[in-house]
Chain A
Amino acid sequence: MAEAMKMRATMQGDAVDVKVLIQHIMETGQRKDKKTGNLIPAHFINQVSATLNGKMVLDMQWGVGISRNPFVGFRVKGAKVGDKVAVHAVDNLGTVFDGEVVVA
């Protein structure tokens, strides 16, 4: 689901500044359906990793407290224009999200 991910990677000094937005409901599992009164099942991204030129730089675990349409920003030293930054995410139902961007 690459279209669900928006990425930007720009050099700032000697580090690449990466910004990532993923479209996702991030349902907590704690909200009630107003019509039925039943709990809406949890549905959220819980594991995310980022790589620079294929090498892992960031290993993340997320809970239900991350906002809907999650945002994450990070910086990696030693990158240069043309490098590839990739983000890989999976939610608690096993849906996988991938994105890649070339450092500008």
Chain B
Amino acid sequence: VCAAGLLKTSGVFAATWNNLAFTSKDTADAMKNAGYAGAAENKDIMIKVPDIAENGAVVPVEVSSNIPGTTSIAIFVDKNPNPMIADFEFMNGAEPFIATRVKMASTSIVRASVKAGGKVYTNSREVKVTIGGCGG
């Protein structure tokens, strides 16, 4: 189902890669450097994550925003050496929804932040990463 790709230059991207945000060592700095500073807690950001990760190297994260006018969603994992995971900007009919898989070294807060109507919002969930073994 996957047709041969057309080679393009990287000039199609709207912005250059945000090195400052992606190399920040804590979530607060990363949020600031990615334009999400001062985000207000908002339950209309839905984060779907497993309660316990099956594999810390591949943790499925789905975020959707019910906040009107959502234009972007960013994902952060607090305990990672570089908490900023990704930033997604939606346009031309894309719904404010994203599904991806992230690396987690340990139990941590997974945070999703949203830009909507010139304001920023955020919500979070905890994902447990465990050594495993045992069972009934």
Inside 8 A of B29's CB, which chain A residues have their CB?
Answer: none
Chain B residues 78 to 134 lying within 8 A of chain A, measured CB to CB, are 80-95, 97-103
Total residue contacts A-B, CB cutoff 8 A? 154
Given the interface pairs A70-B101, A72-B100, the reply to whether A59 lies near B14 with Cβ below 8 Å is: yes
Tell me how far the C-beta of B95 lies from the nearest C-beta in chain A, rounded to whole angstroms.
4
A96 pairs with B8, CB closer than 8 A: yes
CB proximity of A9 to chain B, nearest CB, Å: 8
Could you tell me if B10 and A76 are in contact, using CB atoms closer than 8 angstroms?
Answer: no
Chain B residues contacting A50 (CB-CB under 8 Å) are 94
A46 proximity list for chain B (CB < 8 A):
17, 22
A2-B2, A8-B1, A49-B13 in contact; A58/B100 too (CB < 8 A)?
Answer: no
Contact with B along A79-104 (1 / 0, CB 8 A): 10000001010100010111111101
Instruction: For the complex, give the distance between the alpha carbons of A67 and B84 in Å.
Output: 13
B1 / chain A contacts, CB cutoff of 8 Å: 7-8, 101-102, 104
Chain A binding surface, main DSSP class: strand
| A78, CB-defined interface residue at 8 Å | yes
B93 in contact with A79 (CB, 8 Å): yes
Q: Which residues of B contact A3 (CB under 8 A)?
A: 2
Compute how far the CA of A100 lies from the CA of B12 in the bound complex, rounded to whole angstroms: 16
Shortest Cβ gap from B24 to chain A (Å) = 10
Task: Report B-chain residues with C-beta under 8 Å of the C-beta of A79.
Answer: 93
Given the known A-B contacts A58-B88, A63-B85, are A76 and B93 also in contact in the complex, defined by CB atoms under 8 Å? yes
CB distance from A22 to the nearest CB of B (A): 11
A73 near B87 (CB under 8 angstroms)? no
Are A59 and B2 in contact (CB-based, < 8 A)?
no
| Contact A30 B93, CB 8 Å, known A61-B86, A74-B99, A100-B5 | no
Identify the A interface with B (CB < 8 A). Answer: 1-3, 5-8, 15, 19, 28, 30, 46-47, 49-50, 52, 55-68, 70-79, 86, 88, 90, 94, 96-102, 104
13 A-B residue pairs with Cβ-Cβ distance under 8 Å, sorted by A, are A5-B2, A7-B2, A47-B13, A47-B17, A49-B12, A59-B89, A60-B86, A65-B83, A72-B98, A74-B94, A76-B92, A90-B10, A99-B3
